[in-house]
């Protein structure tokens, strides 16, 4: 039997690269959909670029999606591309809605015309729950997005469910409602990675090449790391564990929604404390708060109940919070040496 073919949008991102590695290990043929850039850089997919087929395109352009699908004819489509920063989405509302919301619909609609039997994974998010009163949150918790990113994701999620139930031409679109998942490949505009990179720069006494934060300043300035709300509560898992669920969802006999989460909640302050402790430092000596990093509308506390994924698919996260922090700090100690 021929190898299965998977088409992954957002392959240069954190999840796209880990998912590609997983699918390559299962013998899949992979195509990645990437935005063209002058440096011809494939981000997190650079390491595997020779093992995958690249299609240049943009979720803004239904034409570019159609051309890739017509040529590659995938069995599975993983729609991971998005402008994925909740805080950043307040500064680019239209861009976020066009890529993260309408862009997903472009993928669903083009797939329906060109590869109607392809199974689709849609990257939904726990951010859609907003500031929920129900704790923990599961697949039945009402959505109440508190930022433009979450609103765009909710639109895409609802369009996926509608397409799934279309009596004339139902599509297999499964939605993973994933809680925060992190790794050394997480973007530097996300708080966990900002912390692990800052710990590494401070410990290694790095003077040059300190990475920049989302407002264009070095993440460590005058020996200090600036963060937003230290009391914000999140459910953080390890991205490598979570991409396994994406694949499992597309092997299941029906398209459904599944929450992926650890069920364990920590504050941003606790993440920082744990990360500085990995290198024997006291976080309170280095962390300051800065209102630039506090969103105008707050989300959370987010805490997921992934019992449905465990019961039906046999999935559960393997990596514990403390191990995740260690993995990220050790990777950044080597990267920012
Ligand atoms: P990520 O690292 O930010 O990757 C996003 C990807 O989308 C990048 O490859 C980016 O390409 C691509 N992209 C952005 N705009 C595009 C456009 N207009 N056309 C085509 N591609 C575009 O995100 P991630 O952490 O891997 O997350 C994967 C997906 O899961 C995202 O949809 C995210 O919103 C969702 N999600 C993530 C989490 C989490 O905690 N990580 C939780 C729930 C849901 P460039 O390299 O060109 O920027």
CATH value at residue 297 = 3.90.25.10
Is the per-residue pLDDT at 17 higher than 70?
Answer: yes
The residue whose two tokens read 């063209």 is 36
Query: Do 14 and 132 fall into the same domain?
Result: yes
Catalytic residue among 28, 55, 149, 242: 149
Query: Do 240 and 149 fall into the same domain?
Result: yes
Query: Do 92 and 158 fall into the same domain?
Result: yes
Residues above pLDDT 90, as percent of the chain = 93
Query: Do 77 and 60 fall into the same domain?
Result: yes
Q: Which two tokens mark 172?
A: 């297999």
Is the per-residue pLDDT at 305 higher than 90?
Answer: yes
Q: Is residue 306 part of a domain?
A: no
Is the per-residue pLDDT at 141 higher than 70?
Answer: yes
- Residue scoring higher pLDDT (99 or 215): 99
Partners of 177 in the β-ladder:
124, 259
**Atom from ligand 1 closest to the CA of residue 149:** 34
Catalytic residue among 55, 96, 121, 127: 127
Q: pLDDT band at residue 214, thresholds of 50, 70 and 90?
A: confident
Work out how many domains the chain is built from and give that number: 2
Q: Is residue 307 part of a domain?
A: no
Alpha-carbon distance of 248 to 260, in angstroms, equals: 12
Query: Do 35 and 80 fall into the same domain?
Result: yes
Expressed as residue numbers, the domain containing 78 is 5-182+236-260
Query: Do 30 and 61 fall into the same domain?
Result: yes
- The pTM of this model reads 0.97
pLDDT at position 59 is: 97
Q: State pLDDT tens for residues 239-264.
A: 999 999 999 999 999 999 999 999 99
- Which of the 8 DSSP states describes residue 135? S
Q: pLDDT band at residue 1, thresholds of 50, 70 and 90?
A: low
Q: Which two tokens mark 219?
A: 């993440």
Alpha-carbon distance of 144 to 93, in angstroms, equals: 17
pLDDT at position 40 is: 81
The residue whose two tokens read 């796209």 is 16
Query: Do 164 and 274 fall into the same domain?
Result: no
Query: Do 200 and 106 fall into the same domain?
Result: no
Q: Is residue 279 part of a domain?
A: yes
**Atom from ligand 1 closest to the CA of residue 58:** 19
- Residue scoring higher pLDDT (292 or 16): 16
Q: Is the peptide bond before 136 cis (omega within 30 degrees of 0)?
A: yes
């Amino acid at each position: 039997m021929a190898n299965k073919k998977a088409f992954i949008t957002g392959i240069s991102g954190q999840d796209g690269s880990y998912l590609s590695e997983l699918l390559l290990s299962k013998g899949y043929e992979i195509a990645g959909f990437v935005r063209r850039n002058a440096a011809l850089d494939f981000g997190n997919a650079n390491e595997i670029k020779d093992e995958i087929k690249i299609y240049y395109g943009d979720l803004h352009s239904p034409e570019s999606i159609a051309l890739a699908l017509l040529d590659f004819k995938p069995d599975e489509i993983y729609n991971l591309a998005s402008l994925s920063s909740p805080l950043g989405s307040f500064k680019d509302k239209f861009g976020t809605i066009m890529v993260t919301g309408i862009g997903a619909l472009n993928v669903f609609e083009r797939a329906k015309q060109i590869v109607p039997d392809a199974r689709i994974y849609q990257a939904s998010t726990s951010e859609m729950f907003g500031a929920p009163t129900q704790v923990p949150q599961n697949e039945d918790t009402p959505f109440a997005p508190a930022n433009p990113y979450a609103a765009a994701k909710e639109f895409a999620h609802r369009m996926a469910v509608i397409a799934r139930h279309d009596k004339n031409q139902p599509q297999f679109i499964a939605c993973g409602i994933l809680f925060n998942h992190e790794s050394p490949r997480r973007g530097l505009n996300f708080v966990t990675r900002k912390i692990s990179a800052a710990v590494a720069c401070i410990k290694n006494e790095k003077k040059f090449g300190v990475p920049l934060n989302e407002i264009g300043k070095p993440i460590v300035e005058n020996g200090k790391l600036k963060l937003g709300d230290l009391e914000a509560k999140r459910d953080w898992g390890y991205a490598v564990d979570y991409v396994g669920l994406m694949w499992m969802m597309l092997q299941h006999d029906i398209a459904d929604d599944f929450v992926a989460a650890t069920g364990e909640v920590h504050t941003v302050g606790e993440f920082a404390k744990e990360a500085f402790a990995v290198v024997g430092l006291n976080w309170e000596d280095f962390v300051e708060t800065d209102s630039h990093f506090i969103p105008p509308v707050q989300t959370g506390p987010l805490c997921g109940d992934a019992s449905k994924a465990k019961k039906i698919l046999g999935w559960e996260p393997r990596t514990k919070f403390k191990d995740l922090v260690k993995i990220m700090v050790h990777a950044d100690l080597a990267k920012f040496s």
